[in-house]
Chain A
Amino acid sequence: MESAEAWRLTDRLQAEHGKGDPFAAAIRATRMAMIITDPRLPDNPIVFVNDAFCTLSGYDRDEIMGTNCRFLQGPDTDRDDVRRIREAVEARRDIAVDLLNYRKDGTRFWNALYMSPVVNEDGELLYFFASQLDVTHRVDAHLQTRNEKADVERQVIERTRELTEALAAKTMLVHEVDHRVKNNLQMISSLLGMQARTFTDPDAQEKMRLMLDRVEALGTVHRLLYVSDDVTRFDVADCARELATELVQASGRSEIRLRLELESVVTAVDKAAPVALMLNELVTNALKHAFADGRGGKIVVVVEPDGPDVRLEVTDDGTGMAGIAVDPTSFGQRLLQTLARQLGASVERLPAELGTRVVVRFPNDAVEKAAAR
Protein backbone atom coordinates (compact mmCIF):
# COMPACT_ATOMS: atom_id res chain seq x y z
CA MET A 1 0.00 0.00 0.00
CA GLU A 2 2.73 2.36 1.03
CA SER A 3 4.80 1.47 -1.99
CA ALA A 4 1.83 1.96 -4.30
CA GLU A 5 1.35 5.52 -2.95
CA ALA A 6 5.03 6.27 -3.22
CA TRP A 7 5.40 4.94 -6.69
CA ARG A 8 2.43 6.91 -7.80
CA LEU A 9 4.09 10.04 -6.46
CA THR A 10 7.34 9.21 -8.15
CA ASP A 11 5.46 8.83 -11.38
CA ARG A 12 3.95 12.22 -10.89
CA LEU A 13 7.29 13.85 -10.11
CA GLN A 14 8.61 12.15 -13.16
CA ALA A 15 5.69 13.45 -15.17
CA GLU A 16 6.11 17.03 -13.95
CA HIS A 17 9.82 17.26 -14.53
CA GLY A 18 9.96 14.90 -17.45
CA LYS A 19 13.50 13.89 -16.54
CA GLY A 20 13.05 10.24 -15.70
CA ASP A 21 13.99 8.18 -12.71
CA PRO A 22 17.53 9.29 -11.72
CA PHE A 23 16.21 12.50 -10.08
CA ALA A 24 13.60 10.70 -7.96
CA ALA A 25 16.12 8.02 -7.09
CA ALA A 26 18.54 10.64 -5.82
CA ILE A 27 15.94 12.15 -3.49
CA ARG A 28 15.02 8.73 -2.18
CA ALA A 29 18.60 7.81 -1.47
CA THR A 30 20.10 11.09 -0.14
CA ARG A 31 21.19 11.27 3.51
CA MET A 32 19.26 14.55 3.85
CA ALA A 33 15.78 13.90 5.29
CA MET A 34 13.14 15.16 2.86
CA ILE A 35 9.38 15.21 2.61
CA ILE A 36 6.84 16.56 0.18
CA THR A 37 3.37 17.70 1.21
CA ASP A 38 0.31 18.40 -0.91
CA PRO A 39 -1.39 21.64 0.05
CA ARG A 40 -4.27 20.90 -2.29
CA LEU A 41 -5.40 18.02 -0.08
CA PRO A 42 -7.14 18.66 3.28
CA ASP A 43 -4.67 19.56 6.09
CA ASN A 44 -1.67 19.59 3.72
CA PRO A 45 -0.67 15.92 4.22
CA ILE A 46 2.73 14.34 3.57
CA VAL A 47 2.69 12.64 0.17
CA PHE A 48 6.34 11.69 -0.07
CA VAL A 49 8.96 10.77 2.48
CA ASN A 50 12.48 9.46 1.92
CA ASP A 51 14.37 6.89 3.99
CA ALA A 52 16.55 9.50 5.67
CA PHE A 53 13.42 11.15 7.12
CA CYS A 54 12.22 7.80 8.51
CA THR A 55 15.64 7.27 10.10
CA LEU A 56 15.71 10.78 11.57
CA SER A 57 12.17 10.69 12.98
CA GLY A 58 12.08 7.01 13.96
CA TYR A 59 8.66 6.54 12.31
CA ASP A 60 7.85 4.01 9.57
CA ARG A 61 6.83 5.30 6.19
CA ASP A 62 3.22 4.11 6.56
CA GLU A 63 2.91 5.99 9.87
CA ILE A 64 3.97 9.18 8.15
CA MET A 65 2.23 9.17 4.81
CA GLY A 66 -1.01 11.12 4.69
CA THR A 67 -0.44 12.94 7.99
CA ASN A 68 0.33 16.59 8.62
CA CYS A 69 3.91 17.05 9.69
CA ARG A 70 2.92 18.68 13.01
CA PHE A 71 3.30 15.20 14.60
CA LEU A 72 7.00 16.12 14.97
CA GLN A 73 6.15 18.88 17.47
CA GLY A 74 6.15 18.37 21.23
CA PRO A 75 5.54 20.19 24.49
CA ASP A 76 8.71 22.34 24.35
CA THR A 77 8.48 23.27 20.68
CA ASP A 78 8.48 27.03 20.35
CA ARG A 79 4.92 28.17 19.47
CA ASP A 80 6.28 31.24 17.68
CA ASP A 81 8.38 29.05 15.37
CA VAL A 82 5.29 26.96 14.56
CA ARG A 83 3.26 30.11 13.85
CA ARG A 84 5.97 31.38 11.50
CA ILE A 85 5.88 28.10 9.54
CA ARG A 86 2.07 28.24 9.29
CA GLU A 87 2.24 31.82 8.05
CA ALA A 88 4.86 30.86 5.43
CA VAL A 89 2.61 28.02 4.16
CA GLU A 90 -0.36 30.34 3.96
CA ALA A 91 1.69 32.99 2.14
CA ARG A 92 3.38 30.35 -0.06
CA ARG A 93 6.79 31.60 1.01
CA ASP A 94 9.87 29.56 1.75
CA ILE A 95 11.12 29.47 5.31
CA ALA A 96 14.19 28.34 7.25
CA VAL A 97 13.86 27.78 10.97
CA ASP A 98 15.57 25.81 13.76
CA LEU A 99 12.73 23.92 15.37
CA LEU A 100 12.70 21.67 18.43
CA ASN A 101 11.14 18.38 17.27
CA TYR A 102 10.44 14.99 18.86
CA ARG A 103 11.22 11.49 17.55
CA LYS A 104 8.84 8.59 17.88
CA ASP A 105 10.66 7.44 21.05
CA GLY A 106 10.07 10.88 22.60
CA THR A 107 13.70 12.10 22.38
CA ARG A 108 14.19 15.65 21.19
CA PHE A 109 16.30 16.98 18.34
CA TRP A 110 16.91 20.38 16.80
CA ASN A 111 15.61 20.35 13.26
CA ALA A 112 17.05 22.85 10.79
CA LEU A 113 13.92 22.93 8.63
CA TYR A 114 13.94 24.41 5.17
CA MET A 115 10.62 24.46 3.39
CA SER A 116 9.72 25.92 0.00
CA PRO A 117 6.63 25.92 -2.25
CA VAL A 118 6.77 24.09 -5.59
CA VAL A 119 4.72 25.68 -8.38
CA ASN A 120 4.17 24.59 -11.98
CA GLU A 121 4.68 26.72 -15.07
CA ASP A 122 1.21 28.24 -14.65
CA GLY A 123 2.14 29.45 -11.17
CA GLU A 124 -0.17 26.88 -9.60
CA LEU A 125 0.93 25.62 -6.17
CA LEU A 126 1.57 21.88 -6.37
CA TYR A 127 3.64 20.88 -3.35
CA PHE A 128 5.67 21.99 -0.43
CA PHE A 129 9.13 20.53 -0.37
CA ALA A 130 10.85 20.31 3.02
CA SER A 131 14.32 19.20 4.06
CA GLN A 132 15.31 18.42 7.64
CA LEU A 133 18.74 18.40 9.18
CA ASP A 134 19.53 17.33 12.75
CA VAL A 135 21.50 20.27 14.16
CA THR A 136 21.14 19.32 17.84
CA HIS A 137 24.92 19.57 18.38
CA ARG A 138 25.15 23.04 16.88
CA VAL A 139 22.12 24.41 18.76
CA ASP A 140 23.17 22.78 22.02
CA ALA A 141 26.66 24.23 21.70
CA HIS A 142 25.17 27.63 20.96
CA LEU A 143 22.79 27.39 23.91
CA GLN A 144 25.59 26.20 26.14
CA THR A 145 27.79 29.13 25.14
CA ARG A 146 24.90 31.46 25.80
CA ASN A 147 24.28 29.87 29.20
CA GLU A 148 27.95 29.99 30.09
CA LYS A 149 28.12 33.65 29.11
CA ALA A 150 25.04 34.42 31.21
CA ASP A 151 26.61 32.42 34.02
CA VAL A 152 29.85 34.41 33.87
CA GLU A 153 27.87 37.64 33.79
CA ARG A 154 25.89 36.51 36.83
CA GLN A 155 29.13 35.67 38.63
CA VAL A 156 30.65 39.06 37.76
CA ILE A 157 27.57 40.86 39.06
CA GLU A 158 27.56 38.76 42.22
CA ARG A 159 31.29 39.27 42.81
CA THR A 160 31.02 43.02 42.16
CA ARG A 161 28.20 43.20 44.69
CA GLU A 162 30.27 41.28 47.26
CA LEU A 163 33.27 43.56 46.73
CA THR A 164 31.14 46.70 46.93
CA GLU A 165 29.66 45.47 50.19
CA ALA A 166 33.09 44.52 51.53
CA LEU A 167 34.43 47.98 50.64
CA ALA A 168 31.46 49.67 52.32
CA ALA A 169 31.99 47.54 55.44
CA LYS A 170 35.69 48.37 55.46
CA THR A 171 35.07 52.10 54.98
CA MET A 172 32.60 52.01 57.86
CA LEU A 173 35.16 50.18 59.98
CA VAL A 174 37.81 52.82 59.23
CA HIS A 175 35.37 55.59 60.17
CA GLU A 176 34.43 53.74 63.33
CA VAL A 177 38.06 53.18 64.35
CA ASP A 178 38.94 56.79 63.51
CA HIS A 179 36.02 57.92 65.65
CA ARG A 180 37.11 55.66 68.52
CA VAL A 181 40.72 56.85 68.38
CA LYS A 182 39.65 60.49 68.49
CA ASN A 183 37.16 59.83 71.26
CA ASN A 184 39.75 57.96 73.33
CA LEU A 185 42.32 60.73 72.88
CA GLN A 186 39.61 63.15 73.96
CA MET A 187 38.94 61.10 77.08
CA ILE A 188 42.64 60.84 77.96
CA SER A 189 43.00 64.59 77.75
CA SER A 190 39.77 65.03 79.73
CA LEU A 191 41.18 62.88 82.52
CA LEU A 192 44.52 64.71 82.56
CA GLY A 193 42.82 68.11 82.38
CA MET A 194 40.50 67.37 85.25
CA GLN A 195 43.23 65.89 87.40
CA ALA A 196 45.51 68.88 86.72
CA ARG A 197 42.90 71.16 88.30
CA THR A 198 43.13 69.30 91.58
CA PHE A 199 46.87 69.87 92.17
CA THR A 200 47.63 72.56 94.71
CA ASP A 201 51.42 72.39 94.22
CA PRO A 202 52.11 74.82 91.33
CA ASP A 203 55.11 72.79 90.11
CA ALA A 204 53.10 69.56 89.98
CA GLN A 205 50.25 71.36 88.30
CA GLU A 206 52.54 72.80 85.66
CA LYS A 207 54.06 69.39 84.90
CA MET A 208 50.56 67.96 84.55
CA ARG A 209 49.65 70.82 82.20
CA LEU A 210 52.74 70.13 80.09
CA MET A 211 51.73 66.50 79.84
CA LEU A 212 48.21 67.54 78.85
CA ASP A 213 49.71 69.77 76.12
CA ARG A 214 51.61 66.78 74.73
CA VAL A 215 48.54 64.56 74.64
CA GLU A 216 46.57 67.38 73.05
CA ALA A 217 49.30 67.80 70.42
CA LEU A 218 48.69 64.16 69.49
CA GLY A 219 44.99 64.94 69.38
CA THR A 220 45.66 67.80 66.97
CA VAL A 221 47.56 65.40 64.70
CA HIS A 222 44.58 63.06 64.58
CA ARG A 223 42.16 65.87 64.00
CA LEU A 224 44.19 67.00 60.97
CA LEU A 225 44.92 63.55 59.59
CA TYR A 226 41.48 62.68 58.27
CA VAL A 227 40.67 66.11 56.88
CA SER A 228 42.19 65.15 53.56
CA ASP A 229 41.25 62.05 51.60
CA ASP A 230 44.81 60.79 51.62
CA VAL A 231 45.39 59.39 55.10
CA THR A 232 48.99 58.48 54.31
CA ARG A 233 50.14 62.12 53.96
CA PHE A 234 50.39 64.90 56.46
CA ASP A 235 51.09 68.63 56.08
CA VAL A 236 53.61 69.89 58.63
CA ALA A 237 52.52 73.51 58.00
CA ASP A 238 48.88 72.84 58.97
CA CYS A 239 50.04 71.13 62.13
CA ALA A 240 52.39 73.99 63.07
CA ARG A 241 49.66 76.58 62.48
CA GLU A 242 47.15 74.88 64.77
CA LEU A 243 49.63 73.92 67.50
CA ALA A 244 51.49 77.23 67.73
CA THR A 245 48.33 79.34 67.56
CA GLU A 246 46.63 77.32 70.28
CA LEU A 247 49.67 77.32 72.56
CA VAL A 248 50.25 81.07 72.29
CA GLN A 249 46.57 81.91 72.70
CA ALA A 250 46.22 79.56 75.66
CA SER A 251 49.23 81.10 77.40
CA GLY A 252 47.10 84.15 77.99
CA ARG A 253 50.23 86.26 77.26
CA SER A 254 48.80 88.88 74.96
CA GLU A 255 52.20 90.63 75.09
CA ILE A 256 53.72 87.74 73.15
CA ARG A 257 53.09 87.83 69.40
CA LEU A 258 53.26 84.87 67.04
CA ARG A 259 54.45 85.07 63.47
CA LEU A 260 53.92 82.11 61.18
CA GLU A 261 56.04 81.65 58.06
CA LEU A 262 54.58 78.44 56.75
CA GLU A 263 55.06 76.73 53.45
CA SER A 264 53.09 73.56 52.81
CA VAL A 265 55.32 70.48 53.27
CA VAL A 266 53.60 67.14 52.84
CA THR A 267 55.35 64.27 54.54
CA ALA A 268 54.63 60.63 55.40
CA VAL A 269 52.00 60.15 58.07
CA ASP A 270 54.30 58.20 60.42
CA LYS A 271 56.22 61.44 60.98
CA ALA A 272 53.11 63.28 62.15
CA ALA A 273 53.21 62.40 65.85
CA PRO A 274 56.94 63.04 66.47
CA VAL A 275 56.83 66.28 64.44
CA ALA A 276 53.82 67.54 66.40
CA LEU A 277 55.42 66.66 69.74
CA MET A 278 58.69 68.43 68.80
CA LEU A 279 56.83 71.55 67.71
CA ASN A 280 54.90 71.45 70.96
CA GLU A 281 58.12 71.25 73.01
CA LEU A 282 59.84 74.05 71.08
CA VAL A 283 56.96 76.52 71.22
CA THR A 284 56.27 75.67 74.87
CA ASN A 285 59.94 76.24 75.74
CA ALA A 286 59.95 79.60 74.01
CA LEU A 287 56.80 80.66 75.84
CA LYS A 288 58.10 79.46 79.18
CA HIS A 289 61.74 80.51 79.15
CA ALA A 290 62.25 83.35 76.69
CA PHE A 291 59.78 85.74 78.24
CA ALA A 292 60.05 84.59 81.85
CA ASP A 293 60.08 88.01 83.41
CA GLY A 294 56.71 88.93 81.91
CA ARG A 295 58.31 90.86 79.09
CA GLY A 296 56.67 90.95 75.69
CA GLY A 297 58.16 89.73 72.43
CA LYS A 298 57.72 87.70 69.34
CA ILE A 299 57.86 84.02 68.45
CA VAL A 300 58.45 83.12 64.80
CA VAL A 301 57.62 79.63 63.55
CA VAL A 302 58.97 78.65 60.15
CA VAL A 303 58.10 75.52 58.19
CA GLU A 304 59.56 75.04 54.74
CA PRO A 305 60.90 72.41 52.37
CA ASP A 306 64.71 72.50 52.14
CA GLY A 307 65.90 70.26 49.32
CA PRO A 308 65.10 66.71 50.37
CA ASP A 309 64.59 67.88 53.96
CA VAL A 310 61.91 69.58 55.99
CA ARG A 311 63.07 72.55 58.03
CA LEU A 312 61.30 73.67 61.20
CA GLU A 313 62.46 76.78 62.96
CA VAL A 314 61.25 78.32 66.22
CA THR A 315 62.83 81.68 67.02
CA ASP A 316 62.14 84.01 69.90
CA ASP A 317 63.46 87.48 70.71
CA GLY A 318 63.39 86.89 74.44
CA THR A 319 66.18 86.59 76.99
CA GLY A 320 68.19 84.15 74.94
CA MET A 321 70.36 81.22 75.93
CA ALA A 322 72.68 83.33 78.02
CA GLY A 323 69.92 83.66 80.58
CA ILE A 324 69.18 79.96 81.17
CA ALA A 325 71.36 76.92 80.79
CA VAL A 326 69.55 74.14 78.91
CA ASP A 327 69.52 71.06 81.10
CA PRO A 328 70.05 68.12 78.73
CA THR A 329 68.75 65.68 81.34
CA SER A 330 65.39 67.40 81.76
CA PHE A 331 62.41 65.42 80.54
CA GLY A 332 61.60 67.98 77.84
CA GLN A 333 65.13 67.85 76.41
CA ARG A 334 65.31 64.08 76.50
CA LEU A 335 61.94 63.94 74.77
CA LEU A 336 63.25 66.25 72.04
CA GLN A 337 66.37 64.12 71.52
CA THR A 338 64.38 60.91 71.37
CA LEU A 339 61.91 62.31 68.84
CA ALA A 340 64.79 63.73 66.78
CA ARG A 341 66.35 60.28 66.67
CA GLN A 342 63.08 58.75 65.45
CA LEU A 343 62.80 61.35 62.68
CA GLY A 344 66.50 61.17 61.79
CA ALA A 345 66.50 64.89 62.56
CA SER A 346 69.27 67.28 63.47
CA VAL A 347 68.51 69.86 66.15
CA GLU A 348 70.61 73.03 66.25
CA ARG A 349 70.28 75.60 68.97
CA LEU A 350 71.63 78.89 67.62
CA PRO A 351 71.92 82.28 69.15
CA ALA A 352 69.49 84.63 67.47
CA GLU A 353 69.75 88.40 67.21
CA LEU A 354 68.16 88.75 70.61
CA GLY A 355 66.85 85.41 71.81
CA THR A 356 67.11 81.83 70.71
CA ARG A 357 66.69 80.07 67.39
CA VAL A 358 66.17 76.33 67.21
CA VAL A 359 66.42 74.69 63.80
CA VAL A 360 65.18 71.15 63.24
CA ARG A 361 65.89 69.45 59.95
CA PHE A 362 64.71 66.00 58.97
CA PRO A 363 64.60 64.02 55.71
CA ASN A 364 61.24 64.03 53.97
CA ASP A 365 60.64 60.44 52.88
CA ALA A 366 57.64 61.49 50.85
CA VAL A 367 59.98 63.51 48.58
CA GLU A 368 62.51 60.68 48.30
CA LYS A 369 59.80 58.22 47.34
CA ALA A 370 58.40 60.57 44.72
CA ALA A 371 61.90 61.13 43.29
CA ALA A 372 62.61 57.39 43.20
CA ARG A 373 59.59 56.73 40.98
Chain B
Amino acid sequence: MREPLRILIVEDEALILMQLEMLFEDAGHEVVGTAVSQDEAVALAVETKPDIAFVDVRLKGGSSGIEAARAMRAVDGLTIVFMTANVRLLPDDLDGAAAVIPKPFSEKVFGAALPFLEECVRTPPPGIVKPPGIRLAPWFMERIGLRDAEFGAALP
Protein backbone atom coordinates (compact mmCIF):
# COMPACT_ATOMS: atom_id res chain seq x y z
CA MET B 1 0.00 0.00 0.00
CA ARG B 2 1.42 3.34 -1.03
CA GLU B 3 2.03 6.06 1.50
CA PRO B 4 -0.62 8.82 1.22
CA LEU B 5 0.62 12.30 0.32
CA ARG B 6 0.58 14.79 3.19
CA ILE B 7 -1.10 17.88 1.78
CA LEU B 8 -1.50 21.48 2.97
CA ILE B 9 -4.30 23.53 1.38
CA VAL B 10 -4.00 27.33 1.36
CA GLU B 11 -7.22 28.91 0.03
CA ASP B 12 -9.34 31.74 1.39
CA GLU B 13 -12.59 30.68 -0.35
CA ALA B 14 -14.18 28.37 2.21
CA LEU B 15 -16.18 26.41 -0.36
CA ILE B 16 -13.20 25.69 -2.58
CA LEU B 17 -11.15 24.75 0.48
CA MET B 18 -13.86 22.31 1.56
CA GLN B 19 -14.14 20.78 -1.91
CA LEU B 20 -10.38 20.26 -2.18
CA GLU B 21 -10.26 18.71 1.27
CA MET B 22 -12.96 16.22 0.20
CA LEU B 23 -11.25 15.51 -3.12
CA PHE B 24 -7.87 14.81 -1.55
CA GLU B 25 -9.27 12.63 1.19
CA ASP B 26 -11.42 10.71 -1.31
CA ALA B 27 -8.23 10.07 -3.29
CA GLY B 28 -6.69 8.54 -0.19
CA HIS B 29 -4.38 11.39 0.79
CA GLU B 30 -3.99 13.15 4.09
CA VAL B 31 -4.82 16.83 4.47
CA VAL B 32 -2.48 17.89 7.27
CA GLY B 33 -3.65 21.48 7.42
CA THR B 34 -5.78 24.20 5.85
CA ALA B 35 -4.91 27.89 5.90
CA VAL B 36 -6.73 30.97 4.67
CA SER B 37 -3.99 33.61 5.09
CA GLN B 38 -0.31 34.08 4.33
CA ASP B 39 0.89 33.93 7.97
CA GLU B 40 -1.26 30.94 8.79
CA ALA B 41 0.06 29.13 5.71
CA VAL B 42 3.71 29.67 6.59
CA ALA B 43 3.21 28.67 10.23
CA LEU B 44 1.35 25.48 9.23
CA ALA B 45 3.92 24.54 6.61
CA VAL B 46 6.74 24.81 9.15
CA GLU B 47 4.74 22.89 11.74
CA THR B 48 3.35 20.05 9.60
CA LYS B 49 6.11 19.66 6.95
CA PRO B 50 3.73 18.53 4.17
CA ASP B 51 4.75 16.86 0.88
CA ILE B 52 2.67 19.20 -1.27
CA ALA B 53 1.08 22.59 -0.60
CA PHE B 54 -1.67 23.85 -2.91
CA VAL B 55 -1.55 27.62 -2.58
CA ASP B 56 -4.11 30.15 -3.85
CA VAL B 57 -2.38 33.32 -5.03
CA ARG B 58 -4.86 35.74 -3.43
CA LEU B 59 -5.39 35.13 0.25
CA LYS B 60 -7.43 36.52 3.09
CA GLY B 61 -7.14 40.22 3.92
CA GLY B 62 -5.18 40.96 0.75
CA SER B 63 -2.30 38.74 1.84
CA SER B 64 -0.26 37.04 -0.85
CA GLY B 65 0.09 33.37 -1.68
CA ILE B 66 3.26 34.23 -3.60
CA GLU B 67 4.82 35.71 -0.44
CA ALA B 68 3.61 32.69 1.54
CA ALA B 69 5.19 30.33 -0.99
CA ARG B 70 8.50 32.22 -0.79
CA ALA B 71 8.64 31.75 2.97
CA MET B 72 7.53 28.12 2.64
CA ARG B 73 10.50 27.29 0.42
CA ALA B 74 12.53 27.00 3.63
CA VAL B 75 10.59 23.83 4.49
CA ASP B 76 12.54 20.75 3.34
CA GLY B 77 10.98 18.49 0.73
CA LEU B 78 7.92 20.68 0.19
CA THR B 79 6.55 20.95 -3.35
CA ILE B 80 4.41 24.05 -3.92
CA VAL B 81 1.59 24.19 -6.47
CA PHE B 82 -0.17 27.51 -7.11
CA MET B 83 -3.87 27.80 -7.87
CA THR B 84 -4.95 31.04 -9.51
CA ALA B 85 -7.48 32.71 -11.79
CA ASN B 86 -4.68 35.01 -13.07
CA VAL B 87 -1.95 32.71 -14.36
CA ARG B 88 -0.56 35.57 -16.45
CA LEU B 89 0.38 37.51 -13.35
CA LEU B 90 2.83 34.79 -12.31
CA PRO B 91 6.44 34.87 -13.53
CA ASP B 92 7.53 32.09 -15.93
CA ASP B 93 9.61 30.35 -13.27
CA LEU B 94 6.54 30.47 -10.97
CA ASP B 95 8.71 32.13 -8.33
CA GLY B 96 10.01 28.85 -6.99
CA ALA B 97 6.72 26.94 -7.12
CA ALA B 98 6.71 23.63 -9.01
CA ALA B 99 3.45 24.04 -10.90
CA VAL B 100 0.28 26.04 -11.34
CA ILE B 101 -3.31 24.92 -11.74
CA PRO B 102 -5.42 27.64 -13.40
CA LYS B 103 -8.85 28.46 -12.00
CA PRO B 104 -11.58 27.60 -12.58
CA PHE B 105 -10.44 23.98 -12.39
CA SER B 106 -12.67 20.97 -12.57
CA GLU B 107 -12.61 18.03 -10.20
CA LYS B 108 -11.30 16.15 -13.22
CA VAL B 109 -8.19 18.35 -13.26
CA PHE B 110 -7.35 17.41 -9.71
CA GLY B 111 -8.32 13.80 -10.33
CA ALA B 112 -5.64 13.69 -13.03
CA ALA B 113 -3.15 16.06 -11.40
CA LEU B 114 -2.89 14.24 -8.08
CA PRO B 115 -1.53 10.90 -9.35
CA PHE B 116 0.77 12.80 -11.72
CA LEU B 117 2.14 15.02 -8.95
CA GLU B 118 2.45 12.02 -6.68
CA GLU B 119 4.78 10.36 -9.20
CA CYS B 120 6.68 13.64 -9.70
CA VAL B 121 7.33 13.83 -5.96
CA ARG B 122 7.76 10.16 -5.07
CA THR B 123 9.17 8.42 -8.14
CA PRO B 124 10.44 10.94 -10.69
CA PRO B 125 10.34 11.02 -13.63
CA PRO B 126 6.58 10.43 -13.76
CA GLY B 127 5.27 7.55 -15.87
CA ILE B 128 1.96 9.28 -16.42
CA VAL B 129 1.56 11.87 -19.20
CA LYS B 130 1.13 15.37 -17.83
CA PRO B 131 -2.59 16.18 -17.66
CA PRO B 132 -3.72 19.32 -19.53
CA GLY B 133 -5.00 21.23 -16.50
CA ILE B 134 -1.62 21.73 -14.87
CA ARG B 135 1.43 23.74 -15.95
CA LEU B 136 4.91 22.94 -14.67
CA ALA B 137 7.74 25.38 -13.96
CA PRO B 138 10.78 24.79 -16.21
CA TRP B 139 13.10 24.32 -13.20
CA PHE B 140 10.79 21.65 -11.79
CA MET B 141 10.63 19.76 -15.10
CA GLU B 142 14.41 19.73 -15.13
CA ARG B 143 14.60 18.51 -11.56
CA ILE B 144 12.23 15.55 -12.10
CA GLY B 145 13.89 14.70 -15.42
CA LEU B 146 11.16 15.72 -17.85
CA ARG B 147 11.86 17.23 -21.23
CA ASP B 148 9.49 19.52 -23.12
CA ALA B 149 9.07 17.02 -25.94
CA GLU B 150 7.41 14.53 -23.63
CA PHE B 151 4.54 16.94 -23.18
CA GLY B 152 3.61 17.30 -26.82
CA ALA B 153 2.07 13.85 -26.97
CA ALA B 154 -1.56 13.66 -25.95
CA LEU B 155 -3.11 10.33 -25.14
CA PRO B 156 -2.41 7.68 -27.81
Given the interface pairs A186-B16, A241-B154, the reply to whether A246 lies near B86 with Cβ below 8 Å is no
Cα–Cα, bound, A250→B156 (Å)? 16
Give the Cβ gap from A331 to chain B, nearest Cβ, in Å: 20
9 contacts between A and B (CB under 8 A): A178-B85, A183-B85, A186-B104, A189-B104, A190-B15, A216-B104, A216-B106, A249-B111, A258-B155
Give which listed residue, B16, B23, B87, B102, contacts A187 with CB less than 8 A. Answer: B16
- Interface size for A (C-beta < 8 A) is 34
Q: Is A219 interfacial (CB 8 A cutoff)? A: yes
B18 touches A194 (CB 8 A): yes
The residues in B between 88 and 111 inclusive whose CB is less than 8 angstroms from any CB of A are 88, 102-109, 111
CB <8 Å contact, A241 and B132: yes
A212 surroundings in chain B (CB, below 8 A): 106-107
**Docked complex Cα distance between A260 and B18 (Å):** 35
Task: State how many angstroms separate the Cβ of A57 from the closest Cβ of chain B.
Answer: 71
Number of A-B contacts defined by CB within 8 Å: 93
For the complex formed, measure the closest distance between the CB of B153 and the CB atoms of chain A, giving whole angstroms: 11
| A245 and B103 form a contact (CB under 8 A) | no
Chain A hits for B22, CB < 8 A: 193-194, 197
- Whether A194 pairs with B19 at a CB distance below 8 angstroms is yes
User: Which of chain B's residues have a CB closer than 8 A to the CB of A247?
Assistant: 108
**Interface pair A179/B108, CB less than 8 Å apart:** no
- Selected from B13, B88, B106, the residue in CB contact (under 8 A) with A246 is B106
Q: How many of chain B's residues touch chain A, expressed as a range? A: 20 to 34
Query: Are A249 and B106 in contact (CB-based, < 8 A)?
Result: no
Known: A193-B23, A194-B19, A250-B107. 9 other contacts (CB 8 A): A183-B103, A186-B85, A187-B15, A187-B16, A213-B106, A223-B103, A223-B104, A246-B131, A246-B132
CA distance A216 to B105 in the complex (A): 7
**B112 sits at the interface (CB 8 A):** yes
A interface: dominant SS: helix
Q: Which residue of A189, A193, A248 is within 8 Å of B155 (Cβ)?
A: A248
| Known contacts A189-B107, A223-B103, A242-B132; A250/B112 CB under 8 A | yes
* Contact call B105/A186, Cβ cutoff below 8 A: yes
Q: Which residues of B contact A257 (CB under 8 A)?
A: 155-156
Interface residues in B20-63 (C-beta closer than 8 Å to A): 22-23, 26, 58
Nearest chain A CB to B85 CB, angstrom units: 4
CA distance A248 to B156 in the complex (A): 12
A182 touches B108 (CB 8 A): no
Residues of B participating in the A interface, judged by any CB pair closer than 8 Å: 13, 15-16, 18-19, 22-23, 26, 58, 85-88, 102-109, 111-112, 131-133, 154-156
**B76 CB, min distance to chain A CBs, angstroms:** 31
A227 to B33, CA, bound (A): 32
Q: Please tell me which one of the listed residues B16, B87, B111 contacts residue A190 in the complex, with CB atoms under 8 A apart.
A: B16
CA distance A185 to B30 in the complex (A): 26
Asked if A246 meets B19 with Cβ closer than 8 Å, knowing A189-B107, A241-B154, A257-B155, the reply is: no
A186 and B103 contacting across the interface, CB-CB below 8 Å: yes
- Give chain A residues whose Cβ lies under 8 Å from the Cβ of B88: 226-227
A182 near B154 (CB under 8 angstroms)?
Answer: no
Chain B residues near A179: list those with CB within 8 A. 58, 85-86
Instruction: Give the CA-CA distance A292 to B133 in the complex, in Å.
Output: 27
Q: How far is the CA of A212 from the CA of B154 in the complex (A)?
A: 24
When distances are taken between beta carbons in the complex, the residues of chain A under 8 Å from B19 are 190, 193-194
What mask results when residues 189 to 201 of chain A are scored 1 for a CB within 8 Å of chain B, else 0?
1110110010000
B62 vs chain A, min Cβ distance (A): 13
